[in-house]
Structure 1
Amino acid sequence: MAVMLCGLLVGGAVAAQMQSLEIVGKTGVHVFTVEIATTDQEREVGLMYRKSLPDGQGMLFDFRPEQQVSMWMKNTYIPLDMIFIRGDGTILRIAENTEPLSTRIIASGGPVAGVLEVSGGTAKKLGIAAGDRVAHPLFKSR
């Protein structure tokens, strides 16, 4: 099981694409603009070294095919919510308000196809929960 880092490349390189993603749950539809991390290098660096992450934005890590995933917050300066998403687009679990600069391992808790990182506290504020559905081309509909 590989440890994936959450961050941004030093020097300002950013994940290649920005896309729209929706989370549909009991509290309604929540739309995010996300950077897509698909390469090993993009996934390794993630949101490192960033000083802020605006509301409504995040990073989506593509881990297809589904697999157990472990992340950490090394070199990540802002708290994040890590939303672990199954291949069918359902949220498996959420690690809320992860601790900045920590090397503590944060495990997916089961096989996932993707991880969405948003500003810490976003899931609670919007009522996003395990079982909610994520609409994005990375995930297959049931």
Structure 2
Amino acid sequence: MSALIPFALSFPARPVRRVLRLAAAAALACASAAAAAQQPQSLPVRQLRAGMYLIQAEVASTEQTRELGLMFRERLAPNHGMLFIFDQPGTQCMWMRNTLIPLSVAFIGDDGAIVNIEDMAPQTENSHCAARPVRYALEMDAGWFAKRGFKAGSKLEGIPGVR
């Protein structure tokens, strides 16, 4: 009959429990990390002004925060968005991988003027690019800029480093 005893049960119970606890802790840590990656990260918030409108913009200024952007968000509060600050002016492009809400992005020059605005569909990987080299991009709910009459040439205030 002893040949029918499962292999793991032939070991002392204490080491087996320890291995099971370690495995459970590792699984919990992985699940927590995956959940945390899907939650909005805590980023600095900068108040911007677009005409008479105040915008609360989370600032994504590192490669990691720019890459994550607004992924996994289910909504944005009214007049909230994300300001992307790039290290150097360039033909910046945005995409919507794992982004659940439709967005509009304004590409902004060093003078605070909007260069162009692109509407972006959720969960797509199409590139939406600046019409000329820029250092900044501001993502807001889809249609936010159009509904308020903002277009190329409109100025935004409060962007860090804009002269």
The one of 108, 126, 130 equivalent to 1:108 is 130
Question: Could you say which structure has the higher helix fraction?
Answer: 2
Matched, 1:95 2:118: yes
TM-score under structure 1 length normalisation: 0.84
Alignment of 1:67-106 (within 5 A): 67-96=90-119, 98-106=120-128
Mapped pair 1:63 → 2:86 = yes
1:25-40 aligned within 5 A: 29-40=52-63
Q: Check conservation: 1:90, 1:132, Cα contact below 8 A.
A: yes
TM-score by length of 2: 0.74
Aligned to 1:130: 152
- Residues in 2 aligned to 1:19 and 1:40: alpha-carbon distance in whole angstroms: 18
Per-residue deviation, residues 55-108 of structure 1 (Å, max 9, x unmatched): 110000001321111111110010001010001111000002x11001111111
Structure 2 unmatched runs, 5+? 1-35
Percentage of pairs with the same residue: 32
1:13 positional shift = 4.8
Verify the 8 A CA contact 1:64 1:114 in the aligned structure 2: no
1:18 to 2:45 alignment: yes
Higher strand share: 1
Structure 2: how far apart are the matches of 1:124 and 1:13?
26
Report the secondary structure of 1:133's partner residue.
Answer: coil
Query: Root-mean-square deviation (CA), in Å?
Result: 1.4
Letter in 2 for 1:121: G
Q: Kindly tell me the number of residue pairs found equivalent between the two proteins.
A: 128
CA contact (8 A) 2:47 2:55 kept: yes
Q: Equivalent residue for 2:75?
A: 52
Point out 4+ residue stretches in structure 1 off by more than 3 angstroms.
none
